[in-house]
A and B are shown apart, each in its own frame.
Chain A
Amino acid sequence: MIRILLIGIALTFIGGLLFAPLAMVFVSGLEHGLGAWFHSFTDSDTGAAIRLTLLTAAIVVPLNTVFGICAAWCIAKFEFPGKSMLVTLIDLPLAVSPVVSGLIYVLMFGLQGWFGAWLQDHDISIIYAVPGIVLATMFVTFPYVARELIPLMQQMGNDEEEAAITLGAGGWFTFFHVTLPRIRWGLAYGVILCNARAMGEFGAVSVVSGHIRGLTNTMPLHIEILYQEYNYVGAFAVASLLSLLAVVTLIVKTMLEWRTGIRHH
């Protein structure tokens, strides 16, 4: 009795809060048929938003992946003073509000910011331009790969790498042939989460973007503009595309969890 009641409460809660909104996006996006859905993407501003989102992710995700691997290597394989401090600082962006994440770059590179005057003299724009969007996205997705790899590599220990090195293998060889095969699933996990956040970030990007249509609008920002223009078909079409990305991310993530048998946070 209690069992059925509790399952009912849980399913109602999840259904209303998670499932209904997700279904709503796809139903509204496809309300006027598949043709109208595809037609929404022929709009040149929508196309530009998709390209900018892909470009941002293509810059941010590889950089944060390299950073994550470097951070995990030095933290998991070596002992040094200040290590726990370093781990805390790497996680810091997760605790900061997305709006503050954007604000800090405006204070650095905006007109009244630290480097504002210098940048203007040299005719370089960062804020209200693509570099600002990339930087803000970099900040919010900063810890994603590192925080997956650090515990994983710590748990694996150094024995296999030490064996490889002792037997005469070089550093790069050891990394690609000994370390990488053992961390690949954890790495994939961190990369897809990093990518999902990079493509979906709204708050931080909203602050630095300037919302210039066709130039500095990413997909999430474009949804807001279309929505404010009462172009609900367009807004839900873009939203359903991003939801599709989220669903794919979730499926890959679940498969990785089943494969490795561990649950990450």
Chain B
Amino acid sequence: MISLRRERSVIPGFGITLGFTTFFLCAIVLLPLTALVMKGASMDFARFIQVITAPRALASYRLTFGASLTAATINIVFGFIVAWVLVRYRFPGRRFVDAIIDMPFALPTAVSGLALTAVFAGNGWIGQYLEPLGIKVAYTPIGITLALTLIGMPFVVRTVQPALQELPKDVEEAAATLGARPVYIFFRVILPAVLPAVLTGFTLAFARAVGEYGSVTFIAGNIPLHTEITPLLIIIRLEEYDYAAAAALGCVMLAVSFLMLLTINLLQHWGRRRLTGGARA
């Protein structure tokens, strides 16, 4: 029956919409990305390796990936708590908090970078209390991590939130009736059920953080080898008109993007399979 209906659709516009979609996709996305890959591939291989393994490049990877990893880890801990509080508890201002979670999606990164720098500078609202404790946030890797935490936070909350909502409460109640302690219930019942969502959120936040530039550039201070992230290094190479070096570093970033995309797809596939598998059992 289905195959009969699919034979010929009465709905018009297939050719023109597919044609326009493909054309626009090629012109805006695929062709420019190809230009990057070609530029990288046309480089002398030894030079390519030399550019992407230069001490300044290596220091920038360490900082970019280290800060992104730390930020994503902070986000799965606190993002989980925020998601939990929003799903399980009712308190005044809950809807406001729920709405403001998406702020980093709407707020330009330059604004969040500027604002974070002001708040956490030595004389800022929060910075003035951290300074006496010996914690310098602005113009240090801590500041970079903070900026990356801010932009990654909604990804974790918004992937964990629906997973917690779908969690059947009777399983927890059954475990509690059988005498399980809250800690045991959390690690043995709740966490395994939402693990795919937590890992997806972690990867999304990490992927976003690795490429971030706008908010970091304000708070980082941009000191070579110390607070210089990889996207900034690409811009510096471009400003030196060293297109090839910029393209080589760009290829590294692009490869990381593809890897992240693959990981996210695999994680979501895993999450869906577990969900449907659970329903069958």
Contacts and interface: CB of A to CB of B under 8 A. Distances in A.
A16 interface: yes
A97 B106 contact: no
Q: Which of B99, B102, B241 is packed against the most chain A CB atoms within 10 Å?
A: B102
Contacts of A162: 9-11
B58 interface: no
Interface in A196-215: 196, 199-203, 206-207
A74 B111 contact: no
A75 B20 CA distance: 12
B280 interface: no
A193 B105 CA distance: 8
A71 B17 CA distance: 7
B161 to A, nearest CB: 8
A93 interface: yes
Interface string A116-130: 000000000000000
Contacts of B212: 97-98, 203
A70 B112 CA distance: 34
B211 A220 contact: no
Given A21-B112, A104-B250, A162-B11, A99 B234 contact: yes
Contacts of A108: 31-32, 35
Contacts of A16: 126
Interface string A8-33: 01110110111111101100100000
Interface in A165-206: 165-166, 171, 174-175, 193, 196, 199-203, 206
Given A10-B82, A98-B231, A158-B11, A199 B108 contact: yes
A223 B100 contact: no
Given A74-B21, A108-B31, A201 B10 contact: no
A239 B78 contact: no
Interface in A203-253: 203, 206-207, 219-221, 223-224, 227, 235-236, 239, 242-243, 245-247, 249-251, 253
Contact of A103 (B13, B89, B250): B250
Interface stretch (B171-179, B187-195, B257-265, B270-278): B257-265
Chain A interface helix/strand/loop/mixed: helix
B41 to A, nearest CB: 12
B247 interface: yes
A97 B196 CA distance: 25
Given A17-B149, A17-B150, A263-B162, A243 B21 contact: no
B167 interface: no
A210 B146 CA distance: 28
B104 interface: yes
B184 interface: no
A3 B214 contact: no
Contacts of B246: 103, 106
Contacts of A203: 109, 211-214, 231
Nearest to A77: B11
Contacts of A193: 105-106
Contacts of B103: 18, 22, 246, 250
Contacts of B108: 199-202, 219-220, 242, 246
Given A11-B97, A104-B33, A67 B20 contact: yes
A10 B83 CA distance: 9
Contacts of B106: 193, 196, 200, 245-247, 249-250, 253
Contacts of A73: 13, 17
A139 B36 CA distance: 14
Given A14-B97, A71-B17, A95-B258, A78 B9 contact: yes
Given A74-B14, A253-B106, 17 more contacts: A3-B89, A22-B103, A24-B118, A70-B17, A74-B13, A77-B13, A92-B33, A99-B232, A100-B36, A104-B35, A112-B241, A158-B9, A171-B12, A201-B108, A202-B109, A253-B102, A265-B159
9 closest A-B pairs by beta carbon, nearest first, are A97-B211, A200-B108, A202-B214, A21-B115, A203-B213, A104-B32, A99-B231, A220-B110, A74-B17
Interface of B: 6, 9-14, 16-18, 20-22, 24-25, 28-33, 35-36, 39, 78, 81-82, 84-86, 89, 91, 97, 99-112, 114-116, 118-119, 124-126, 146, 149-150, 153, 158-159, 162, 182, 207, 210-214, 217-218, 231-232, 234-235, 238, 241, 243, 246-247, 250, 253-254, 257-258, 260-261, 265
Interface of A: 2-3, 6-7, 9-11, 13-14, 16-22, 24-25, 28, 67, 70-71, 73-75, 77-80, 86, 88-90, 92-93, 95-100, 103-108, 110, 112-114, 135, 138-139, 142, 158, 161-162, 165-166, 171, 174-175, 193, 196, 199-203, 206-207, 219-221, 223-224, 227, 235-236, 239, 242-243, 245-247, 249-251, 253-254, 263, 265
15 contacts: A7-B89, A14-B100, A20-B126, A89-B29, A90-B21, A96-B211, A98-B213, A100-B231, A103-B234, A107-B247, A171-B12, A202-B109, A224-B218, A246-B103, A253-B102
